[in-house]
Structure 1
Amino acid sequence: MSNDINTASSSYIDSLRGQDKQVTNEKKSDALTQEDFFSLLTQQLSFQDPSKPADNDQMIAQMTNFTMAEGISNLNSKFESLAASMTSNSALQASTLVGKKALVESDTLDLNSSDDASGMIAVENPVKDLKLSITDASGQLVRTIELGDKPAGGLRFNWDGKNDAGERLPPGEYNIKAEGSMGEEFTSLPMASYKNIDSVNINGANGIIINTKEGAVKLSDVAEIA
């Protein structure tokens, strides 16, 4: 009988040692799991004073707090995954913009060898005798386009790249200026034109940044992509 007990004890001790080695070899995580919580709860119950048992409300509160903590941890992980997915989608969206044109605030027009140059005039109030003046790099006036009376709003314009004599001008950057009468004042109006998108950046909280000859512009500030 004694030998049987010794043999059983030896086997039990060996099994415990094997479990200890297995735990030591396994990669441990710093995060508390539900199994860890219930182990702690079991230990708490085993060491409590029988004459003063734990209050049920306290135990429920502990379980609730643990569940909330675990839920918040899982939620944070999901938010991180969502943020990574959104960044990836933004990068994919940004890559499709390179080579297109963005309508941005500018006082210049880019004329190429074949297409017309176009843009927009921001007319905040009805304007009379609106005209568009186009000058070359030396400041010489090459074209005047009479637009007449216009209501408030975004007024699109198109330039065929020709001067007042009907001659096609060489490709390059030209200065533009829109002027008209608002009431008794003759004033200049804000302008916007289409600029080639050379590259894009993903800039964290600032979102997608597009780079043109005019400089860096937030995608949210671009009126139109063409």
Structure 2
Amino acid sequence: MTTTTDSTSSSILSQYAVSNKSSTSSTSSTSSSSTSSATGSQSLGKDTFLQLLVTQLKNQNPLDPQDNSAFVAQLAQFSSVEGINNLNSTVSSLASNYTSNQALQASALVGHSVLAPASSTAVNTSTGLTGQFDLASSSSATSVKVYDANGALVKNIDLGSQGAGTVSFNWDGTSNDGVALSSGTYKFVASATVDGKEVAQTTYLPSTVTSVTVGSTAGDMSLKLADGSSVALSQVKSVGI
């Protein structure tokens, strides 16, 4: 029943509370050294914490017993640590369920057309194509140029002046001369004149989803498109039929 044992137990309890609040912090104090020697390479669990508390009470100095307020504070630390551990387990479980639900919802997109950021896509010229781009501010002159697989300009779609917001454009699958073109991959370049300067715009083009790739989190989920490219689920602007 020595004061040294009491001091060491108190030190271990204090160190345990600190280590659970910040797993990334490090310390080179005597308290940390005592904890290391007492527990080795294993982390302290709530059962070990309680055992240390009981040991501290058994070995306290009868001439200088544990102060009631300190004892209550240590019990409060124990309850807080247990609550935090339970909360972490609950949040991890919810995150896992959320990811699974996202994957299930994303799998329903297979075979459907989505509107996603892309510069080129496969086009069935018999049905044409409808795309979009977003204007941050109004434009005095707006256009979309269509290029074939060889890089030749086949169509210039003049959209005139446009206000800020989403701008839709349609291509009927014909050239500037009105000749129907064959189906294939075409590139779309949108531009807008803002304050006298021509600014390139990001186009959103339709493409069919062929598969879904699930990462470790919902944010890592991506869709593989018919042209072989991939796009993050969060970047999809709209879903077609």
TM-score, normalised with respect to structure 2: 0.64
Distance 1:223 1:50, change over 3 A: same
**Cα shift at 1:194:** 1.5
TM-aligned CA deviation for residue 156 of structure 1: 0.2
Answer whether contact 1:110 1:117 (CA < 8 A) is retained: no
| Deviations 1:102-121 (CA, angstroms, capped at 9, x unpaired) | 32333324312653311113
2:82 is paired with a residue whose SS is helix
Q: Please, which runs of 5 or more residues in structure 1 have no aligned partner?
A: 1-29
Q: Displacement, 1:193?
A: 1.2
Match of 1:27 in 2: none
Instruction: Return the TM-score normalized by structure 1.
Output: 0.67
Aligned residue number for residue 207 of structure 1: 220
After TM superposition, the structure 1 = structure 2 runs for residues 184-203 of structure 1, keeping only pairs within 5 Å, are 184-185=196-197, 188-203=200-215
Q: What residue identity is the alignment partner of 2:236? A: V
How many residues are paired up?
Answer: 195
Select which of 107, 129, 134 maps to 1:95. Answer: 107
Preserved contact between residue 178 and residue 188 of structure 1 (Cα < 8 Å): yes
Instruction: Please list, as runs of the form range in 1=range in 2, the aligned pairs for 1:127-166 lying within 5 A after superposition.
Output: 127-164=139-176, 166=178
CA distance in 2, matches of 1:51, 1:188: 82
Separation of aligned partners in 2, 1:38 and 1:179: 70
Cα root mean square deviation, aligned:
3.4
User: Does the Cα contact within 8 Å between 1:129 and 1:149 map onto a contact in 2?
Assistant: yes
Where in structure 2 are the equivalents of 1:1-226 lying within 5 Å? 32-33=46-47, 37=50, 41=54, 45=57, 48-112=60-124, 115-164=127-176, 166-179=178-191, 181-182=193-194, 184-185=196-197, 188-204=200-216, 206-212=219-225, 213=227, 215-226=229-240
Which residue in the other structure is 2:30 paired with? none
* Alpha-carbon contact 1:127-1:181 (below 8 Å) kept: yes
* Mapped partners of 2:146, 2:113: distance in 1: 21
Q: Tell me the SS of whatever aligns to 2:144.
A: strand
Output the CA distance in 1 between the equivalents of 2:208 and 2:130.
Answer: 12
Which string of whole-angstrom CA distances, capped at 9 and with x for unpartnered residues, describes residues 144-189 of structure 1? 3332332233210112223345554322111223455545455654
Structure 2: stretches of 5+ with no match in the other structure: 1-43
User: Percentage identity across aligned positions?
Assistant: 32
Q: Which has the larger radius of gyration?
A: 1
